[in-house]
Amino acid sequence: MRQTRQASFESGVLPSGIISLFLLYLLEIHLNYVTTPAPAVDIEALVARRAQGFSLEAPFYSSQEVFDLDIEAIFLNHWLFCAAEAEIPEAGDFVTIDIGSFSVIILRDDDEGIRAFHNVCRHRGSRLLKDPCGAIGNLVCPYHQWTYRTDGSLAFADSQPPTFDRGQFGLKSVNVRTVGGLIFICAAADAPADFEEVAGVIEPFLTHYDLKNTKVAHQIDLVEEGNWKLVMENNRECYHCDGAHPELVTAYFPLFGYSADDITPRLRPLFERYQTASANLERACAVLQFPRDERRELDTRVTGFQVSHLPLDGDGASFGPNGSAVCKKLLGSISEPSFGDVSIHMQPNSWFHILSDHAVVFRVFPVAPGKSVVRTTWLVHSDAVEGVDYDVESLTDVWRATNEQDRELVGGCQRGVSDPGYIPGPYSLVEDDVEAFANWYVNRLRAHLAV
């Protein structure tokens, strides 16, 4: 703070205030966050009066009360994608994830099974693992060396009275379930039961890609200065893509929200290109007996989700220049490079793009009312060799750029909706998935508050 302030003053000697103004602006962002007021909010009333067809009211994005409720009602009571199996390939490999002030360990145990535990020692509460990922033999608390087996049971605790029962002090476990190589957790005692059904729909779309047999080519955590819901809403529409995502849009057919009747003569060639690509994708799917039943159940069930399979423009293979491939080794049993994009959206916090040559998976973790972390992981075939089959830069180009562009948009939106001058505005025709997210979210709050 001091630094920024001094800079702001010293820059004053420049022949223009612009620099000091800009430094102030940077500071502003910080201050806006640090000083976000948390006025008492009547959440029931907020939820009750939510206006269909309009963006959510400000407190949903800026109040501490709503944030705390989101953690409890949404993040601790629903299934969350937290990691790909490829992130913990060996026994003892772990990742830790932070959801607000919750920290959860996801671990591959000695029997190659996957476990999840609260990242808190049962003695005096020390964090067990502070690194975001790594490998361990046993879980040894850094404070007093209480030692837990990879199944969470307490193996060792020094200087205890004879009455001490180790059986009472195993790690608190968290529900865990994998779907086609993707690890989901749920911290609730009774996790939503419909997840099995959803898994049953999604798994067939993943089977051919054999994601278990991939490796992490790259991973980035991006801190965004916005509420987690703004990050999700931004992900759920491409209304902003033309203006914001030059790299991304080249991969997709710019026909979002168009129906056949909307096709003007100008759009005709594009539309025909799209029809050809769709037909080719149909054929390729038939060969593999790849499922074609796309589903959109974003706000009609507890475990809201959508799965679609879109052809890509240009070469139609991947996110490389003009739709070209970014990895030479194709995933699983996919032999046709132009296999489109299997796109999966899951409530509350994840989305996935699975292509013939790589998969990129995303999840959003809330940090504070005005802060979120987006973790992006790029997966390639286990046998793909960096520098030979792929290079990290080309592999990650499009989504590194896109994420950074989205970070800017989300930050601007957080500042705007935190401004008392904000009033909810109307969704456009192409923001139906944003509204579906908002519907799902508000309905889940209603269900939680009704209990």
Instruction: Show contacts with a copy of itself in window 199-228 (CB under 8 A).
Output: 216, 218-223, 225
Burial class (CB in 10 A: 0-12, 13-18, 19+), 401: middle
Query: Of the candidates 31, 27, 28, 38, which has an alpha carbon nearest to the alpha carbon of residue 4?
Result: 27
Q: Which span (25-33, 281-289, 324-332, 340-348) binds a copy of itself, by CB under 8 A?
A: 25-33
Query: Of the candidates 383, 99, 56, 393, which has an alpha carbon nearest to the alpha carbon of residue 233?
Result: 56
Q: Is residue 288 a contact residue for a copy of itself (CB under 8 A)?
A: no
Size of the chain in residues: 451
One residue of 50, 363, 415, 444 binding a copy of itself per CB under 8 A: 415
Nearer to a copy of itself by Cβ, of 124 and 268: the residue is 124
Q: How far is the CB of 146 from a copy of itself (least distance, A)?
A: 9
Q: Is residue 308 a contact residue for a copy of itself (CB under 8 A)?
A: no
One residue of 153, 408, 447, 449 binding a copy of itself per CB under 8 A: 408
Q: Is residue 289 a contact residue for a copy of itself (CB under 8 A)?
A: no
Nearer to a copy of itself by Cβ, of 161 and 269: the residue is 161
One residue of 18, 279, 385, 449 binding a copy of itself per CB under 8 A: 18
Nearer to a copy of itself by Cβ, of 125 and 167: the residue is 125
In sign, the C-alpha dihedral spanning 300, 301, 304, 308 is: negative
Q: How far is the CB of 188 from a copy of itself (least distance, A)?
A: 13
Q: What are the structure tokens assigned to 328, written together?
A: 């030479």
Nearer to a copy of itself by Cβ, of 128 and 183: the residue is 128
Give whole-number Cα distances, 56 to 48, 53, 300, 393, 444, in Å: 12, 9, 19, 37, 14
Nearer to a copy of itself by Cβ, of 19 and 288: the residue is 19
Tell me the angle at which helices 392-417 and 228-235 cross, rounded to the nearest 10 degrees: 120
Rounded Cα distance between 41 and 21, Å, is 34
Q: Is residue 349 a contact residue for a copy of itself (CB under 8 A)?
A: no
CA torsion, ordered 277, 279, 282, 288, to nearest 10 deg? -80
Query: Of the candidates 374, 359, 445, 451, which has an alpha carbon nearest to the alpha carbon of residue 407?
Result: 374
Q: Is residue 296 a contact residue for a copy of itself (CB under 8 A)?
A: no
Q: How many positions of this chain bind a copy of itself (CB under 8 A)?
A: 114
- Please report, as residue ranges, which positions from 242 to 261 form the binding site for a copy of itself (by CB under 8 A): 242-244, 257
Nearer to a copy of itself by Cβ, of 215 and 295: the residue is 215
Instruction: Count CA atoms within 13 Å of residue 181 on its CB side.
Output: 26
Q: How far is the CB of 53 from a copy of itself (least distance, A)?
A: 10
- Please report, as residue ranges, which positions from 40 to 69 form the binding site for a copy of itself (by CB under 8 A): 55, 58, 64, 67-68
- Please report, as residue ranges, which positions from 426 to 445 form the binding site for a copy of itself (by CB under 8 A): 426, 428-430
* Owner of token pair 């939510």: 50
Q: What are the beta bridge partners of residue 426? A: 54
- Please report, as residue ranges, which positions from 146 to 205 form the binding site for a copy of itself (by CB under 8 A): 157-161, 164, 169, 172
Q: How far is the CB of 332 from a copy of itself (least distance, A)?
A: 23
Q: Is residue 77 a contact residue for a copy of itself (CB under 8 A)?
A: no
Query: Of the candidates 94, 196, 178, 194, which has an alpha carbon nearest to the alpha carbon of residue 135?
Result: 94
Q: How far apart are the first and last CA of the chain?
A: 44
Rounded Cα distance between 307 and 346, Å, is 9
